Chains A and B, each alone.
Chain A
Amino acid sequence: MIVADKLVKKFGKLTALNNVSLTCNAGECIALIGPNGSGKTTLIKSVLGMVVSDKGTITFNGKNILKNWQYRNKIGYMPQIGRYPDNMTIGQVINMMKDIRGRKKENLDEELIKNWGLDKLMDKRMRTLSGGTRQKVSAVLAFLFNPDVLILDEPTAGLDPLSSEILKDKIVKEKANNKLIIITSHILSELDDLVTQVIFMQEGKLMFHKSIEELRQNTGHEKLSKVIASLMSNN
């Protein structure tokens, strides 16, 4: 579904992406992991077209994303730090997104709004929100339009345990609907029961892209955190 070929992105002297190639297909749930500053967010932003790579191509369903913007209709993106216009209310932001996507009534997925009780906070201005509530708004917007691809950048950072469980349940549910889900997270324990594949990045390079069963067999560990720890110590 998403194919990246030999991506290179430099920010001045820093090479954020160094010859990264990967293929992601529908029905997969991919964990994108790596140390801070390893290029995870840059990779995600390149897929979304927010960062334009210096070299290499990205295709979505066989079409190059560079000249093609409609593909973003099929992506739900939850940023690491959601930044929204300060003096709009939650309700206005959500309505604006519906309006921009031209989908006001048809099958919208408002399950998260209901489960988190956000409907009571619709009149709050974005500037007054706590980090966690902001994160919830980002998640709601990512899931709202029933996208084929969900890209979640640190989805549970800043969420309380209960809210975080609600989000994880939602991700599991969407995974069952044959969607492609890409998650980055540093809390490996919560990825255990979600992911089917692991992409490990370091210093802008893609170190490996393997299925979780393969990794478990190779290392002999059951827990993802142990698996990654043993791989990192081997390097």
Chain B
Amino acid sequence: MKKIIKYVFIDILRSKIVIGFTIFLLILSLSIFNLEDNSSKGLLSLLNIILIIVPLVSILFSAIYVYNSSEFLELLVSQPLKRKSIWLSLYVGLAGAMALSFFVGAGIPILMYESTPTGYIMIIIGVLLSVIFVSIAMLAAVLTRDKAKGIGVVMLLWLYFSLLFDGLILFILFEFADYPLEKPMVFLSALNPIDLGRIMILLKMDVSALMGYTGAVFKDFFGTSTGFAIAMVVMFAWAAIPLWISVKKFKHKDL
């Protein structure tokens, strides 16, 4: 398994896209921190960009990479290797590359300018989001054989998680405004890793005071260490469950 991870990793580095993305993140975060006079304000600006860009690049690059390495997968499957370890190696290679790219591109500037608990949480969330969206991309890629269709599905998924889901939440809030929705909202937020990540970071910042009564409920729940632990478990589940399903599917896929 280590050997396959090595070849996947070398191959990803050779494509230079991940290196380009790292440099882009690095320039972005350094310029944001230098533009703002207050570095915690910089962190807030960076938050919104990271919540949009990291999932997008993660999911899109991984899906394209899985489709482009179909030859490689075919070659490996005919060799004395377990299908499970081939697929998991591909995941480890991709997730490792994306997480590393985020850590170097955004994590190091955050550590340089805003080495606070909020900053640390932001790095953890960024790494987790990278890993989660690689896993979702791999599930989408194993389920759709056609490359164009698969990339379309992946784009829709990203659109759903970053825009449509919030729209749905607003719709529910508006329609059921007469009912007490504060507690169900905590549960609903777990259905979207991006939202969950955003809440976890925002609650560490002072701006959570602006979130009204729902914000107070969130603070009640996620502010405690059990709430935080549950949120972390949910984030890990978002990475593990799609990956687990994709392994099941890949075991029986015809190549």
Could you tell me which A residues sit within 8 Å of B by CB distance? 11, 45, 48-52, 69-73, 77, 79, 83-87, 96-97, 99-101
Interface residues of A, dominant DSSP: mixed
Give the residues in chain A near B69, CB-CB below 8 Å.
85
Cβ of B160 under 8 Å from chain A: no
Task: List residues of chain A with CB within 8 A of the CB of B71.
Answer: 83-86
**Could you tell me if A97 and B79 are in contact, using CB atoms closer than 8 angstroms?**
yes
How far is B250's CA from A52's CA once the two chains are assembled, in angstroms? 11
Q: How far is the CB of A141 from chain B (nearest CB, A)?
A: 9
Judged by DSSP, the binding face of B is: helix
Given A85-B69, A96-B7, A101–B79 Cβ distance below 8 Å? yes
* Smallest CB gap from B76: residue in A: A100
Any A CB within 8 A of the CB of B146 = no
- 3 smallest beta-carbon distances between A and B, as pairs: A83-B71, A72-B80, A73-B80
User: What chain A residues lie within 8 Å of B252 (beta carbons)?
Assistant: 52
B-side contacts of A79, CB under 8 Å: 74, 78
How many residues belonging to B are interface residues under a CB distance threshold of 8 Å? 24
**B75: CB under 8 A from chain A?**
yes
Q: How far is the CB of A48 from chain B (nearest CB, A)?
A: 5
- Listed in ascending order, the chain B residues whose CB lies under 8 Å from chain A are 3-4, 7, 11, 14, 69-72, 74-83, 251-255
Residue in chain B with minimal CB distance to A48: B78
**CB < 8 Å neighbour of A50 from B11, B74, B80:** B74
**Is A51 touching B254 in the complex (CB atoms < 8 A)?**
yes
Question: Which single residue of chain A is at the shortest CB-CB distance from B15?
Answer: A87
Distance to closest chain A CB from B90 (angstroms): 13
A11→B79 CA distance, assembly (Å):
24
- What A residues does B78 contact at CB under 8 A? 48, 50, 72, 77, 79
Taking CB atoms, residues of chain B closer than 8 Å to A52 are 251-254
Whose C-beta in chain B lies nearest to the C-beta of A42? B254
Residue of A nearest to B252 (CB): A52
Q: Are A69 and B81 in contact (CB under 8 A)?
A: yes
- Tell whether, in the assembled complex, residue B3 and residue A49 are in contact, meaning their CB atoms are under 8 Å apart: no
